[in-house]
Amino acid sequence: MIPAPIPRESAHSALLDAVLGVAEETAALLRECPGTDVPIPGAQWTVGEAAAHLALANELMAALAAGEQRAYGDGTPSGLAAANEASLGAFTQRDGAVLAEEITRHARAFGEAFARRPATARVLTPLGPMDLATLGSYLLAHMLGHGYDIAVALGRPHMIDRHRVELTLPFLMTAMPRVVDPGTAAGHTARYDLRLRGGARFTVTFRAGVPEVSPGPAPRADCTILTDPVAFLLLALGRCGPFSALARGKVLAWGRRAWLAPGFPLLFRAP
């Protein structure tokens, strides 16, 4: 039996609940930590810098949701990185309690702006045009990535779960063609059937290095990849490597070109 689709209003409510929930959970981590100069493992930022970036990004997303036009980077991963560093240089606040309030305040402002406009309204984001609902998915994915970093740095449980990962998929599917690594993807041709364990399924078809993403199963897939939802998001955001995920049983692959699976995340460059 095919389950009935979730009503659009319920889906949007779930998205906003997740955005506010992740903001509050991240803020709780910051309020409880004695200092924010703790380095994030595998990254160049400290907890304070990641929190400051979240505060700035949440403010930007709230402004975009309200209909403002804001330029931020050039739409490429390297351009976003440069814009991030410039904004952090200009915003020197690193107090955990202050940043916790900023993160939650701007998340609430996003929710208020979202409620005032149609979810189909078009907005221009740092990763190109998308509708307002996809912008919300973008905000959630962004907060989950940096919230995860902060939790790991502080030795606390992270806030990523299956439900929240599913809500990031509209953004991730939209962003994939925009974050292709031209070096690793050059000339690549293959069809991938991507499945989240117990959940969504979509297709990524590369033709001469250019991907097309579509919902649903892939006909005649070259490589089927079944991924634990949390591992999927961490791979997509560059927080873990494909070989470690495979070794831990978080990713399974099969098909006539199953050997392509470890290289799939490397076809993209996380912003």
State the Rg of the chain over Cα: 18
| Residues 155, 36 share a domain | yes
Cβ–Cβ under 8 Å, residues 50 and 154? no
Beta strands 223-227; 190-196: pairing state: parallel
Cβ–Cβ under 8 Å, residues 47 and 36? yes
* Structure tokens belonging to residue 178: 């925009």
Cβ–Cβ under 8 Å, residues 30 and 150? yes
Last residue of one domain, picked from the residues 114, 141, 176:
176
| Residues 242, 140 share a domain | no
- Return the percentage of the chain with pLDDT > 70, whole number: 96
Position 40 scores a pLDDT of 97
Position 8 scores a pLDDT of 54
Per residue in 63-111, pLDDT (tens digit) is 999 999 998 988 888 889 899 999 999 999 999 999 999 999 999 999 9
| Residues 151, 22 share a domain | yes
Rounded to whole angstroms, the Cα distance separating 155 from 222 reads 40
Position 65 scores a pLDDT of 97
* Structure tokens belonging to residue 175: 């962003």
pLDDT at 239 over 90: yes
| Residues 207, 91 share a domain | no
Mean pLDDT value of segment 141-154 = 98
Position 5 scores a pLDDT of 43
| Residues 94, 187 share a domain | no
| Residues 47, 162 share a domain | yes
Domain of residue 115 covers 8-176
CB count within 10 Å of CB 218 equals 20
| Residues 93, 27 share a domain | yes
pLDDT at 17 over 80: yes
Give strand pairing partners of 224: 193, 254
Residue with the two structure tokens 């659009």: 8
pLDDT at 19 over 90: yes
Total tally of structural domains belonging to the chain = 2
Q: What is the DSSP letter of 268?
A: B
Position 230 scores a pLDDT of 97
Which residue from 48, 178, 183 is spatially nearest to 125, judged by alpha carbons? Answer: 178
Number of Cα atoms under 13 Å in the Cβ half of residue 116: 12
Mean pLDDT value of segment 179-202 = 95
